[in-house]
Amino acid sequence: MIAAGQALDSVAHGQALDQALRELPRETETAERAAAQDIAYTACRRLNLLDALAARLLAKPNPALDGLVRAALSELISHPERAHAVVDQAVTATAGIKRGAFKGVVNAVLRRFLREREALLADLTQDEALRLHYPAWWIARLRTAYPEPGVAEGIMASGNQRPPMTLRVNRRRADVEGYLATLAEAGLAAVQTGPDALRLERPMPVARLPGFGAGEISVQDLGAQYAAHLLDVQDGMRVLDACAAPGGKTAHILEAADCELLALDRDAVRLKNVTENLARLGLSARCEAADAAKPADWWDGKPFDRVLLDAPCTASGIIRRHPDGKWLKRATDLGQLATIQRQLLDALWQVLRPGGKLLYATCSVFPEENARQIEAFLSAHANARALAADLPAPYTLGHRNGQLLPDQRHDGFYYALLEKA
Ligand SMILES: C[S@@+](CC[C@H](N)C(=O)[O-])C[C@H]1O[C@@H](n2cnc3c(N)ncnc32)[C@H](O)[C@@H]1O
């Protein structure tokens, strides 16, 4: 619990949660690390409520206890049946802080929460942001974007759940049917959910999955697997993946066709993940660290047949995988990201051949980054037309004009397929 508390403290100081968990002290045991991850992710999904509870229960803020108390409160909310064990665990963890000086405080705070739980939660959750576990600006934007009864609430509820774990089978090394049989032999249940996709009944560490090291499979959400299918890459084509890292979509494209692919990413460290992922899967591409918005720096002047722009965005569609995102992002980020997306679209349109296709993708549910962005692009570019973006039956997913909303099957994504006249 102490490790989960440390990770929550780091998020409060602006660090990403996955990074904070990676940076836990080296001597943290594997099992402790896994437990910390579980507690921290759950707590992060309701962090504003935990902040409000801690403010009520602690007489004054205590930086040494902030993370630990939030982690313990979150566990008490999730597991009322284990209340006493959770309190004991938290109090024991406190022994390591300032030679146990705060043991009494933590014990008193958590026991008070147990006594007053109903009244405290009833009072605090009158505030909608605390009840829904999102910042007020986020709720307001979703309500404006999705005014139909229950839709915005559905998106938010889905964003507070644990995500499904979907695998992509590398067609060059295995097939879905065969891999399902391999999983069944290992006692793991799964169902096919897309042409190359299967969903595990229970999420598990990748290293324990058969064939992962041998490049037979990758972890990739079903919504993300739309990209390679929609882009419709044929053998021999010149393809640009403009924002490629960590390379999930790059790899899927290369598994499907023998094409000449240039993978760009501005972040050289993240780009290394593309190289590593491709090597594991037995694939290759030219990888270059560059700003996709400045073709003069990396383009040889030969037009591309296909361009994938998986643009930087608020990641509001994958918030259940990165719950820190809703607390680290600001309302102003939305406008800034929309400007960057527009610049990328304008720049990359130039490198596409006439008759070629550009797929614009985000993992967002905010229309400012999606439908509004594409409407503006189409009205500014007479040589652009939008094509229907869908998968063949039986894998067609219900989307609204390219907008996939998160549900039990897939995360929230947006796709617009544009053809150049
Ligand atoms: C949504 S992620 C891409 C995910 C990736 N396509 C995949 O499927 O694994 C967006 C990426 O865009 C990169 N990026 C942001 N601005 C960029 C720019 N101007 N040029 C190139 N890459 C950029 C970020 O570093 C980040 O890796």
- Cα–Cα distance for residue pair 168/183, rounded to 1 Å: 13
- Ligand 1 centroid – CA 29 distance (Å): 33
Long-range Cβ contact pairs of 81-84 (< 8 A, separation 24 or more): 83/114
What is the DSSP secondary-structure string of 119-135?
HHHHHHTTSHHHHHTS-
- Ligand 1 centroid – CA 183 distance (Å): 32
The mean pLDDT of 301-318, rounded to a whole number, is: 98
Determine the pLDDT at residue 29. Answer: 81
The per-residue pLDDT of the chain, averaged, comes to: 95
Domain with CATH 1.10.940.10 in the chain: 2-131
166-219 falls under which CATH superfamily?
Answer: Sun protein; domain 3 (3.30.70.1170)
H helix or E strand, kind and range, residue 166: strand 166-169
The angle at the Cα of 314, spanning 308 to 320, to the nearest 5 degrees, equals: 105
Residues serving a catalytic function are 363
Domain with CATH 3.30.70.1170 in the chain: 166-219
Helix axes 83-94, 66-78, angle to 10 degrees: 170
- Ligand 1 centroid – CA 309 distance (Å): 8
- Cα–Cα distance for residue pair 419/421, rounded to 1 Å: 6
What is the DSSP secondary-structure string of 231-279?
HT--TT-EEEESS-TT-HHHHHHHHH---EEEEEES-HHHHHHHHHHHH
310 lines ligand 1 (CB under 6 A): yes
- Cα–Cα distance for residue pair 289/225, rounded to 1 Å: 24
Query: What number does the ligand 1 atom closest to the CA of 267 have?
Result: 25
Determine the pLDDT at residue 223. Answer: 95
Whether the bond into 246 is cis, omega within 30 of 0 = yes
The mean pLDDT of 62-85, rounded to a whole number, is: 94
312 lines ligand 1 (CB under 6 A): yes
Place of tokens 């559905």: 154
Length in residues, the chain: 421
pLDDT tens digits, residue range 122-172?
Answer: 999 999 999 999 999 999 999 999 999 999 999 999 999 999 999 999 999
Q: Which of 171, 220, 231, 227 is nearest to 198 (CA)?
A: 220
Determine the pLDDT at residue 406. Answer: 95
- Cα–Cα distance for residue pair 212/389, rounded to 1 Å: 30
CATH topology of domain 226-420: Rossmann fold (3.40.50)
Confidence of residue 97 (pLDDT cuts 50, 70, 90): confident
The angle at the Cα of 170, spanning 167 to 176, to the nearest 5 degrees, equals: 65
Predicted confidence (pLDDT) at residue 391 exceeds the cutoff of 70: no
- Cα–Cα distance for residue pair 377/374, rounded to 1 Å: 5
Predicted confidence (pLDDT) at residue 396 exceeds the cutoff of 80: no
- Cα–Cα distance for residue pair 140/129, rounded to 1 Å: 10
What is the pTM assigned to this prediction?
A: 0.95
- Check if the beta carbon of residue 54 is closer than 8 Å to that of residue 66: yes
Q: Which of 166, 230, 243 to mutate to test the pocket of ligand 1 (most atoms within 8 A of CB)?
A: 243
106 lines ligand 1 (CB under 6 A): no
Query: What number does the ligand 1 atom closest to the CA of 227 have?
Result: 8
Long-range Cβ contact pairs of 262-265 (< 8 A, separation 24 or more): 262/238, 262/286, 262/288, 262/298, 262/304, 263/287, 263/288, 264/240, 264/288, 264/289, 264/290, 264/292, 264/298, 265/289, 265/290
Domain with CATH 3.40.50.150 in the chain: 226-420
Query: What number does the ligand 1 atom closest to the CA of 308 have?
Result: 6
Confidence of residue 392 (pLDDT cuts 50, 70, 90): low
Amino acid letter at 253? I
From the number of C-beta atoms within 10 Å of its C-beta (0-12, 13-18, 19+), residue 109 rates as buried
Please, which residues have CB within 8 angstroms of residue 85's CB and are 6 or more apart in sequence? Answer: none
Q: Which CATH number fits domain 2-131: 3.90.550.10, 1.10.940.10, 1.10.3470.10, 3.10.20.600?
A: 1.10.940.10
pLDDT tens digits, residue range 27-63?
Answer: 778 888 889 999 999 999 999 999 999 999 998 888 8
Three-state secondary-structure class, residue 10: helix
Determine the pLDDT at residue 2. Answer: 87
270 lines ligand 1 (CB under 6 A): yes
